[in-house]
Structure 1
Amino acid sequence: MKRIVALLLCVLLIASAAGDVHWAQAAGEEPGIEIAGYTVQGVAGVADVYAVTLKLRRTNSNYLTGLKLSTPGPNFKQATGSGGSYTISNDPLSASQNTINTLNGNPNPDWPIASETFYFIRAAEGNDLVICFFCNGKDPSGDASSDGTISVIKSAPDPIVVDPVVPGPPVEVDTTKYRPILGVASDAALPLLDQTTEELSIPITNTAIYAANRITVSMEPTDKDKPLFTANRISVSASINTLNRDQVKDAKFAIKLAPGAKTGIHQVTLKYSFNNNHGDHFNDDSEVVYIQVENRNAAPRLTASCSQWLTPGQQAKVNFTLTNHGTTVARDVKVTLEGLSPTGVALINDIDVKHLDLIAGGESASVHYNLLPAHSLEGSSTSLQLKVDYSDSNGENYSDTNTVFLPLSGAKAEDKGVPRLIISKYSFDPPVIRAGSECTLFLELQNTSRSKTITNLKVTILSDEGILLPVDASNTVFIESIAAGDMVAVSLPMATKADAENKTYPLKISFDYEDSQGAAHNSQEMISVPVNQNSRLVVGEIALYGEPMLHEMVPVNVEFYNLGKTILYNLMVKAEGPFKMEGGRYFVGNFNPGASDSFNFAVTPTEPGEQVGEVIFQFEDSIGTQHEVKRELKLEVIEPFYPDDPGMDEPLPPPPTNKWKYVGIGAGVLVLAAAGFVFWRRRKMQKKLELQRAQDLTAAAQAVVPEIEYVGFEDEVEPDHPEPEQKD
């Protein structure tokens, strides 16, 4: 048996400013291996890992059979691996057989040089890499040892050679291919923006193997005409220092909900700017993501009113009331009085434009005008227009024009003319009329005449398309009389057709009445009836493709259909539950009538037993009302069964004391194996014979002539071919 001698050969390599290498040899010993040169290169995309290429040369005739090296120093540890994964090795690194064969070559005239690359991981801040060699040889008489260090400067190449080498052209490496890939984490919940939001967090992940740093994520709404949020800065952005592979960090945006933002699911655009570890800059990545907006605040809406009476020919200071029916403040309110004329109502010692700083949500404010109605004004009232311009807290501008009727007192009485009947107000209960449902129509009828009474009034309600029809009553209402200037309230229960389309329908209301002299008159009014179709989202059964096993992924599918006659807006499907989710969110968008789709995702149970989750469908109907449909997702999670080794619980036999015991055990095993094989062979032959016998019996049974049933044609049977007898 060959004798193997492990000798320690340590090499000290000190790089001077000129690139020379010096060796410190131990006194009284001559090394058998020396380093003719080396290079150091950082591994692309992997921090603190270095590839050190050593040029080795033998210095004596001692034949090598093996060569290993290790790093006893504190700064670096020997490593194994490839690509993007390296681990510290506790065992010395071995040189390849090709390297050993090259080193054992004949000197001509010098010993040949062998090159090989080894990997090391930085463990401390120092740059000194201590390398120790272990040589195996046939004849140890010429072996010796020395020690030293190699200098590793960061991750840049640092070639140092003993012999001058003519440098070749530099090799350019395209480091832009080491590109990180950033995006929103797919399993994250939908970010929520509401009145309490001070900072919106969106989880960002890096799906590439290359790290990203100096990351800036900017956000802007896809529809810039409809602001969703406000910020103190022009650009809404968030910064992240670094993102390694599969790492997730939140991009935090300092924003608040815009006062006029509409409740629902909205699109925003994220733009990414980042660097890789080589300093390459990337800023052309973007993606569209969805956020959920819940705005319980209503935008400001101003209306004007006035109940003050005017007397023709008399100056009056008239107070107009402006009411904000929204929940947010109206700012920079500008009021312009229109409809003024010398023959009607004119301003006196006043201007037509007034300004108010703000009107809070739900509050009212007043403006005053000095008005002079003309002496020639007749009738019960006159009208003016107030144009109101204002803005909300987000700077969005609004403009409304309100017609205000001012009642007149002391005007000339009517000597002749026809009394007029108008609908001063109408409403429905409930306010939203659904197709196929019942509602109540409320009318307020006013006699505009100041001197004549209306009698024998018949109100007839007609719907051209039969969309809205009375319930348990006729379509007419009788009123005995309405005095001059008075109003009468009328109500009528009605129902809408189930197949009415989603639109506004006209409803005609005709009046037949008499005046105080008994003259017959008739008139007709028309009102609008908005009918909304019921949303009908049908969800199919939830299908699991496989039995739920603990820590194993199970695909899930659920189909859904729009069986209604109206579009389902901003349809979002998501799955929730106490398990890991893959693809647990699907934004469908606008879901047309008659359309169908499916939601496919996967769950990974993390706990055994019954696990209950939900599949949630969220959408808006045609009038903006939010709806939610939920379906239960129940998993009966079982744990995988791993059968025990039948021989694990049996005690092991004591170890034999000599080689004859090993022979006896081996012979016994062979005898048992042979007996088992013979038994198995006989059992197999017996089963084969039984199977053959059963097949023979089956074939014999099938050989019996079957019953034949003849239907008709009895008279056509020839006498020499009699009909076979029927068997019972």
Structure 2
Amino acid sequence: MKRKILSFFVIGMMILSICNIHSTISYASGVNLIIGRNADVPVFEPGEEVRFAIPIENIGADNANDVIVSLDTSDLEKFPFVIDKMATTRRISSINAHSDEDAVFYLKVALDAEAKIYPIKVDIVYSTEMGGGGQISQTVYVKIENNRKKPSLKLMDVKFEGDSLLSGQSTTMKLDIRNEGESLVKDLKISLEGLKADGIRMDGYMEIPKIKEVKAKHFQVVPIKLYADENLKSGTYELELSMKYKDEYNHEYEQKTKIYVPVEGVSEQELDFGFENLTYPKEGVNTSEDFTIAFDLKNLSEKDAKNLKVSVDGGSEILPKSPSIKNIKSLASGKSVYLEFVFFAKDGIESKNYPIKIDITYGLNGSEENHSISQYVGVYLKGDNSKLTPKIIIDDYNYGKEYIKTGEVFPLTMSFLNTNKNTAVRNIKVSLTSEGDTFAPVGSSNSFFINEIGPNARKKRNVKLKAKVDAEQKVYNVVVDIEYEDNTGKQYSAKETIGIYVIQEVRFETSDVKIPSDIFAGEPCALSIDYYNLGRGILRNMMIHTEGDFEIKDGSVYIGNMEAGKDDYYDVTIIPKKEGKFNGKIVFKFEDAVGNPHEIVKDFEINAQKIEEPPMPPEGMEMQKPKTSKRWIWIAGGGLLALGIAIFIYRKKKKKAEEVTIDE
């Protein structure tokens, strides 16, 4: 009996144990949390304040209480957010069975966060209603995209004082640099590569100062003083500009770009000289009388001049009495040397102001090439004008307008000037001849007589001429032969030439406007007109258009140039909107050979009729079928015949092509 009771007790304890085990397993599996299932990877940008929501789903049968969600920040180098709070945890009071909640973190993305995908470990601790609890860990992902432009420096311009470097001199080069990026540039260090001691180098031992910062989208001008070696030849020399800098997160960058430096060598540089304390005769100088020109020649340049040669030249009328060439071995910058030259004038020259040329030839240190500059001094000489030959010239002429039309009679006015200031001329005969006899005198011969023209005086004469009808359009020369005597009876002759522009007269004609006999309101109507260039000249830039109180289809047309003797036609379609009479005009616009505008207007009138509808048949009677016009029968037959011929030709060509293909 005792053994049975003991057996029942053991069996009962085992049943209770099994029930307790079942109860424990059911409790532990009652909460099942899943992090971020079916959620998209969030995308953020550096510097952005974001709402980072982590979805947590409870797919178990029991509620999860006191849910603590934490972000793992053990490795901050792999954590893209700024930690500005003491804790990166969020508490959710409960997540019911078969429901979900978001653990929301308000964070700021680090400005220096790299653009990539970051794994974020999420730890969750929770409790259950039965007094138990659990924890899980899972990794979610965050994507950082950096759409902001990194700091980027761009060399916008390079400027030089005087547009280039001069060999042997220092020049300031200015670099215009712009920050094209959207963030700050700091600690900018600039250097030049390619500098040489015997080429282009920095002036002295100065370094280019470091630039503290360049704001986004701002310019920075960097002056650099360079020196070009005195033996450097003209050309463009290449340097490399290196720019090293940091962004606001101390990321380092380096950019390089080419700079091309223009150099003007010694051989192309010119010196500047001054003629100081210049003395020369201010009053008139008589012939055979000595006079002096003297001055201090000063080197106004920054370079020394060598092998100077100073020469003077007064032409054939003024001759040197002292040596006309003086040599100077060197003339330092800012120094001067005194020079003096003595001249005299020949007998029998005309009284007037004569130029005397002073020419300076020099060289430069470092170059074998010579340069020269010139200066002129004017001296008035009193000559014997009584011995000068009297001359007659045409000092003015006109024919009343800019051009003459063919066949036109026009007055030609000429002014004859005696250039001698002391001697009169007389018995003057003037004869006119023209190229190809283009101009014929009207009412007189081609010659006329002038009794006398006093010293430095003028006489005007007028002749009537007529241009040939068939003359070509161009400038024709009229030759004026002049025969005359001085007061001693000595005979002279002169020849003058004047030009007269001849153009062809415009002769533009048109036919009457061709108008159809029947015009109906609302129906298109075709008008046409013929036009002709009957002249000998070209008509340029011709345009034709139609105007009127009706609709005009494609009424304006540009013809361009119309050659002489050509003809053409113009057609236009108009549509009168209603019945009645309407006035219109066709306008021709063009330019002649010399650019004068012309406008020809051709007026016309149309009478638009109303379209009459066919009468309705009496009630009870069928409308008779219209008889087919024989004209349309012929047109249809002709069309069928043309179609048949086209088909026959097409088949014949096709068959021939096939035969050729077979032969091949």
Larger RCO (CA within 8 A; separation ≥ 6): 1
Which range, TM-score by smaller chain?
0.3 to 0.5
Structure 1 length normalisation: TM-score?
0.34
* More strand, by proportion: 2
